A and B are shown apart, each in its own frame.
Chain A
Amino acid sequence: MSVAKPLPHDAARLHVTGSARYVDDIPTPAGCLHLAFGLAEIASGTIARIDLDQTRSAPGVVGVWCAKDLPTDCDCSPSAHDEPLLSDDSIHYLGQPVFLVAATSHLAARKAVALASITYEERKPILSIDEALEAGSHFEEGPRIWQKGDAEQAIQSAPHRLDGEIEIGGQEHFYLEGQAALAVPQEGGDMLVHSSTQHPTEIQHKVAHALDIPMHAVRVETRRMGGGFGGKESQGNALAIACAVVALQTGKPAKMRYDRDDDFMVTGKRHDFRIHYSAGFDAKGRLQGLAFTQYARCGWAQDLSLPVADRAMLHATNAYFVPNVRIESHRLKTNTQSATAFRGFGGPQGMLGMERVMDHVAHHLDLDPTAVRQANYFGSDQNAVPAAVQTTPYGQPVEEFALGEMTKALIESSDFKARQDAVRAWNETQPVLKKGLALTPVMFGISFTLTHLNQAGALVHVYQDGSIHLNHGGTEMGQGLFQKVAQVAASRFGVGLETIKITATDTAKVPNTSATAASSGSDLNGMAVLAACDTIRNRMADHLAQLWQVPSDKIAFGDTSVTDGNRTISFAEAAKLCYEGRISLSSTGFYRTPKLEWDRLRGQGRPFFYFAYGVSASEVVVDTLSGEYRILRADILHDCGASLNPALDIGQIEGGFVQGAGWLTTEELVWDDKGRLRTHAPSTYKIPACSDRPDVFNVALWDGANQEDTIYRSKAVGEPPFMHGISVLMALSDAVASCGRGYPDLNAPATPERVLAAVRRVQNEL
């Protein structure tokens, strides 16, 4: 059976030889036009005068569009219908598309854009969290508040209490392949769109809306993305719509890809957060009451900010049982790029707030932070409430909790205690270089919190030669989803992977799909494919049973053959027999996640099918003279249930950790006081490279099957490992704390300058 085998990515060979085809590699039909947006140069105000004469007459220009030239408002929003493709004369952020140029080449379009002359009436932009709060600039009617018990009373009556605050920076997705789309007009006004998107159905829906045609007239195809990370969940809409409008109006194919600088300036990023906390706890650090106020900077449009901020609330207590909790969430509207989905979808920010509390409480009581974490775990035997009835702040019972055992196992396997002693001894003797070691857990809820998104479809054909065509609604962004799903199909039919053709995601094959997001790709699509395969397999078994005069349950599939125990024929022969017997060898499959029930306004219910767990320990060394640091070692134990593919899963865990560490260390987004993003290229914005991974990097999978009935009892792996990066920030905090008595109070990203400032604070507090 191919499931559970550590097989390489199905396109690995294509990736490394450069022959994997991305949208920009698709040979375009003759006469293809190339598009570029003209972007707003101010963050807030209105357009006073716009002169595009020179742009129109520039070499190669075929057409120029402003909002009034579009067939509809061409809304690009995935949620609130508040993102017109082009400015309606009001400007909401610096980088907002104002006009659209179609030209005979990418370069000609970009050159023509530069010839535009626009004057503005500027307003003072709302840029920061403080400015938004002062102006009362919120999404929704105001802050959302979820509560369990009486947090305020519990905090007041606790033996110990503290308050604190952490600033958490945003993050640019920095997918290797930038945003791209290609629209090819079809007969009768239909449209074919190739899009680098995690959400082909959304592209289809938004293009259909823009062109005012039914969804059946739009077909969207996505073979693969060169990275998505959530940045292609909604941010591809603008390009696809622009291409489709131009293609419809000119009758020519139209292609658009953002230059990297434009990609930074136009598209949304991870939400930056400020989280204020008040904690009440006992002498062992066990939390009795906890109150968070989360401030999320959402940018100019709603996009996915509400569910992102919800997920930050849902992960605000991470893996810990807290009897009394109050979480207040402000979704602030600012004149910046519209913050969007990014791996973890708000979960990392919420979780970091909690890990910060753990670190702060341990420091306050002078206890080992790991012990404080363990004392607060769900199911911890020190807790008064029995494990079985412990619930999250939103009322979901924690029926399975692996972290107690996993933490013990990682402490053992990483030699954590001995290394903690070694770090302490080092710090006592070394005046300049200080080491830090920290262990942090991850408990991440799996399912879309918008319950109806938890569905998926698949389409499977078995051809008469026994080869199999596989299609499902998930998209491939490098994570290896297609390989995992193909392994499922191969296992169901008992054939090798070479028998399975993996095909591009296509809205004409599987309709009404959800984004490949929320880590749900293999959970949902794997099950849908399983259902389709089993339908066909059962039909084949029934037919062969009839031919061979045996009961259906005697027919077994395996080793690329089919047998009833006496006779054995190849799978291909079986397919041929079924074809000749007029058996349908094609089926759809469908899956909906069970058990979900969620009331987001009350913040109560079961939003998640299950939780994915992980624990990581990072060791760092800090130069206390300059604030520079290195990650020396990271050990990760991660729960993928019964892994569908350990090689791909470990790859996701390694990449997630490095990306998470980058978020909290080197990746710094800087806007100036005009609202201009100043870090908009790799020359100013630093993502971690392969060489930035720790020299010692041990990743292991926790051996265990999912308690819930998921695809082969596996667990989702896309987002959860990202949050292992939190252990790096906490290790930095540990190292800095060794410099004196004060609490490091480190904000993220912890650049060397911030680390040095923290060292100074800690040293100065005697």
Chain B
Amino acid sequence: MYSFDMESPSTVADAAKALGQDEAQALGGGQTLIPTLKQRLASPSVLVSLAGIAEMKGVCTADDGSLAIGGGTTHATVAAEAGAYAALAALAGNIGDPAVRNRGTIGGSLANNDPSACYPSAALGSGATIVTNKREIAADDYFQGMFATALDEGEIITEVRFPVPEKASYMKFEQPASRFALVGVFVAKYADGVRVAVTGASEEGVYRWSEAEAALSANFSADAVPAAPSGDGMISDLHASGDYRAHLVGVMTKRAVAAAS
């Protein structure tokens, strides 16, 4: 780890100001960033911890009925308090291990957009709105490939709003050692159609499987899930081939549809 300064603001405004400094970097729960720093793969001059900002924490139902989660809310809190969106609470409760869930935050996960993380599939699969200190970004516009998002330098995710679907489920095929998603599929059925978001599989990061969405919007049953996508463009690494991941996209989608409630 290289040396850096640390700031711990207590308001979003102060945090935004602190992030205006040269080479400043926001710190959520640190579950990705701290190991990255330890490996010397990043060298921020200032770390701005968002952990002390009360206004960014908590779970509530918004006026429009959507579930609003503060960007600084830990996975453990979401697991415990997002009962209004059971599939989302279940997803949060199965990320990593207790240490990760007690430190990691939803804002941190979405800002990082790891191609094998769970949360991006929930946000994209729910058509969530990513609220920052500057604007609101639709999930469809937010994810821009592996580790890439629509966030500007210094922009902070303060809240994520999830429209609550009629039915939803997340199915994760775990890489058994790390418990990251080898493939994870989030399926959500809304009145106006079904969304299917896939994480862990594509070299482009989380994506919507549109063929499955179309088929499931017409007939929401596991039998309607189309044949698995091709392995082209899927991640091939030491844990699985691209073809196997592509195959699992089909399997996990069917399981998610069957389990959706």
Contact = CB atoms under 8 A, between A and B. Distances in A.
B241 interface: yes
A678 interface: yes
Interface stretch (A41-49, A486-494, A642-650, A681-689): A681-689
Contact of A686 (B177, B248, B254): B177
Contacts, number: 29
Interface string B219-261: 0000000000000000000111100100110010010000000
A684 B248 contact: no
A626 B248 contact: yes
Contacts of A672: 238
A111 B141 CA distance: 42
B238 A670 contact: yes
B241 A679 contact: no
B41 to A, nearest CB: 13
A666 B179 CA distance: 13
B173 interface: yes
Q: Which interface residue of B176, B244, B247 has the most chain A CB atoms within 10 A?
A: B176
A679 B238 CA distance: 8
A684 B244 contact: no
B235 to A, nearest CB: 13
Nearest to A111: B1
A627 B176 CA distance: 14
B178 interface: yes
Contact of A756 (B238, B239, B247, B254): B247
A678 B247 contact: no
A685 B178 CA distance: 8
A747 to B, nearest CB: 15
A599 interface: no
A122 interface: no
B173 A626 contact: yes
Contact of A678 (B238, B240, B248): B238
A389 interface: no
B173 A666 contact: no
Interface in A645-703: 666, 670, 672, 678-679, 682-686
A684 B251 contact: no
Given A626-B173, A626-B248, A684 B238 contact: yes
Contact of B178 (A626, A670, A683, A753): A683
Q: Which interface residue of A626, A627, A684, A756 has the most chain B CB atoms within 10 A?
A: A626
A625 B177 contact: no
B176 A753 contact: no
A627 B247 CA distance: 11
Contacts of A678: 238
Contacts of B173: 626, 628
Contacts of A684: 177-178, 238-239
Contacts of A685: 177
Contacts of B251: 625-626
A753 B234 CA distance: 15
A628 B251 CA distance: 11
Given A625-B251, A678-B238, A679-B238, A756 B177 contact: no
Nearest to B254: A625
A753 B240 contact: yes
A62 B247 CA distance: 55
Contact of B177 (A628, A682, A753): A682
Interface string A742-753: 000000000001
Contacts of B248: 626
Interface in B186-244: 238-241, 244
Interface string B40-81: 000000000000000000000000000000000000000000
A682 B247 CA distance: 26
Interface residues of B, number: 13
The A interface, classified by DSSP as helix, strand, loop or mixed, is loop
A753 B248 CA distance: 10
A683 B240 contact: no
A630 to B, nearest CB: 12
Contacts of B177: 679, 682-686
Contacts of B239: 684
A739 to B, nearest CB: 15
Nearest to B1: A111
Contacts of A627: 244
Interface in B68-107: none
Nearest to B35: A683
Given A753-B244, A756-B244, A756-B247, A686 B238 contact: no
B214 to A, nearest CB: 22
Contacts of B176: 666, 686
A753 B241 CA distance: 8
A682 B238 CA distance: 14
Contacts of B238: 670, 672, 678-679, 684
A756 B244 CA distance: 9
A666 B251 CA distance: 21
Nearest to A682: B177
A672 B236 CA distance: 13
B177 to A, nearest CB: 4
Contacts of A628: 173
Interface in A748-763: 753, 756
B243 to A, nearest CB: 9
Nearest to A754: B244
A473 to B, nearest CB: 37
Nearest to A669: B238
B166 to A, nearest CB: 26
B225 to A, nearest CB: 11
Contacts of A625: 251, 254
A181 to B, nearest CB: 26
A368 to B, nearest CB: 32
A756 B178 CA distance: 21
A753 B246 CA distance: 12
Nearest to B240: A753
Nearest to A679: B238
Nearest to B179: A683
A666 B241 CA distance: 16
Nearest to A757: B244
A626 B244 CA distance: 9
A686 B240 CA distance: 14
A625 B248 CA distance: 8
Contacts of B247: 626, 756
B170 to A, nearest CB: 16
Contacts of B240: 753
Contacts of A682: 177
Contacts of B241: 753
Contacts of A626: 173, 247-248, 251
A669 to B, nearest CB: 10
A506 B220 CA distance: 70
B110 to A, nearest CB: 22
A684 B179 CA distance: 10
B238 to A, nearest CB: 4
A685 B177 CA distance: 6
Nearest to B173: A626
A626 B176 CA distance: 14
Interface in A327-369: none
Contacts of B254: 625
A678 B238 CA distance: 7
A685 B254 CA distance: 28
A625 B252 CA distance: 10
Across chains A and B, which 3 residue pairs bring their CB atoms closest together, nearest first? Answer: A686-B177, A670-B238, A686-B176
Interface of A: 625-628, 666, 670, 672, 678-679, 682-686, 753, 756
Interface of B: 173, 176-178, 238-241, 244, 247-248, 251, 254
16 contacts: A626-B247, A626-B248, A626-B251, A627-B244, A672-B238, A678-B238, A679-B238, A683-B177, A683-B178, A684-B178, A685-B177, A686-B176, A686-B177, A753-B240, A756-B244, A756-B247
Given A625-B251, A679-B177, A684-B239, 14 more contacts: A626-B173, A628-B173, A672-B238, A678-B238, A679-B238, A682-B177, A683-B177, A683-B178, A684-B177, A684-B178, A686-B177, A753-B240, A753-B241, A756-B244
